[in-house]
Copies of this chain bind each other. A is one copy, B any other.
Amino acid sequence: MSELYGACIIGQSGGPTSVINASAYGVIRTALDSKYITKVYGAAHGIKGVLDDDLYDMGAEAAYELELLLHTPSSALGSCRYKLKDSSVDDTDYKRILEIFKKYDVRYFFYNGGNDSMDTCNKISKYMQSVGYECRIMGVPKTIDNDLFGTDHCPGFASAAKYVATSCMELYHDSRVYDKNMICVVEIMGRHAGWLAASSAVAAYMGQGPDLVYVPEVDFDMEKFLADVERIYKESGECFVAVSEGIHDSTGKLIAEYGAENAPVDAFGHKQLGGLASTLVNILKERLGDVKMRGIELSLLQRCAAHCASETDVKESFLAGKSAVDFAVSGVTDKMVGFKRTTDENGNYKCEIALMELTDVANTEKKLPREWINEDGNGINKQYIDYIMPLIQGAPEMVFENGLPRFAKLKKVHPKQA
């Protein structure tokens, strides 16, 4: 092991999750406790905070508040969607990052995000190597989409999945309460991958979930969809449908855009784009006429419902952050911390840390395997249930205040300038 003393920066990037702060806490706590890491800085809004010299001194935070990050949703340090140019094209940002790294003697950089964030890590790492600045750079994954390559699953996915499955179960009960039942269409996040929408099938596995599930991995056929819903509705007097926001037809056109075709325009001349759920409900109404229907978009709720997180996910997310620091101080750099699924001596699920190449993660998207989707493309197979079951175990061990979750309140103190 080569010993490297210096400060670290932790940044968060991309869409937040319920547990991204658990990973950040894993980094921050472990870094604060490390003898090699002299200072722990949080970057305000990811890499933008580095570029803007907008850092927080994490050592100035109360330990109790930091620990509350385990169950605080969204990105406590702030996030961004900033894409670094290739340094061969324009190295302005890289020079600035190097300047800030030198200013604060930053020798460790941890970036907590999705595949774009791994791309950022990778580019910074390559640049620092090219200019001979010693700095260990580690990616800590997060995404509710679960589409990161290499890792068995992603921190953040299971908590969103648990919220989706729980909400679908509850909606199932609600939507069947009257003697005249309804058709319910629930829209779930996931532009390119159906991992999250598929979690609604866990509710169905419990006998209380969607009749039909559509994911972007299979081309969506509107006629077949209408026939599916009509058949189930005629048989049982109700139909519950779960859809990924990213479902598309065989030409690649998003179904969410079908509603825009004839361009309804509001009083101000704006196209009124409903979401996918309301688009499908409108099309179903045309076919089925006077049937009670409801389109429900889980919207941002599904990615920030910390109160319904998976405690397994919370613990694994923390572990991902912690391991990133442990590996970095031991000499590892230029890697993403990922998960490998194994079993313990009793054959039970066990999650081990594995290191992934940043380049691989940055440029590959992991889809739901076709064989985990049923042949008709309107349901999810048992392999998926077996895959997700250990990930959604455990209710969050939260602190409450005034009957509501007590989320972390950070002071966000800027470091003293020399």
**A contact set with B: CB distance below 8 Å:** 16, 44-45, 48, 72-75, 78-81, 162, 165-167, 169-171, 173-179, 202-203, 205-208, 258-259, 261-262, 264-268, 270, 272, 274, 278, 282-283, 285-286, 294, 296-297, 299-301, 303-308, 310, 389, 392-395, 398, 400-405, 407, 409
Contact = CB atoms under 8 A, between A and B. Distances in A.
A305 B172 CA distance: 11
A306 B266 contact: no
Among A166, A173, A262, A306, which residue has the most Cβ atoms of chain B within 10 A? A173
Given A79-B177, A170-B305, A179-B78, A286 B300 contact: no
A170 to B, nearest CB: 4
18 contacts: A78-B177, A79-B177, A80-B179, A81-B178, A162-B403, A165-B403, A166-B307, A173-B304, A174-B300, A202-B404, A205-B402, A258-B267, A262-B266, A264-B264, A264-B265, A274-B278, A310-B403, A395-B400
Contacts of A162: 403-404
Contact of A264 (B176, B272, B404): B272
Given A174-B74, A404-B169, A297 B297 contact: yes
Contacts of A274: 272, 274, 278
A178 B404 contact: no
Contacts of A403: 162, 165, 202, 310, 389, 392-394
Nearest to A181: B78
Among A167, A265, A405, which residue has the most Cβ atoms of chain B within 10 A? A405
Contacts of A208: 407
Contact of A402 (B264, B294, B389): B389
Contacts of A166: 307, 404-405
5 interchain residue pairs of minimum CB distance = A264-B264, A74-B173, A392-B403, A262-B267, A174-B304
Among A165, A307, A398, A407, which residue has the most Cβ atoms of chain B within 10 A? A307
Nearest to A409: B207
A394 to B, nearest CB: 7
B270 A170 contact: no
Contacts of A395: 398, 400
B300 A73 contact: no
Contacts of A389: 402-403
A106 B300 CA distance: 49
Contacts of A264: 264-266, 272
Given A16-B177, A307-B170, A401 B206 contact: yes
A392 B274 CA distance: 34
A389 B206 CA distance: 35
Contacts of A307: 166, 170, 308
A150 B167 CA distance: 33
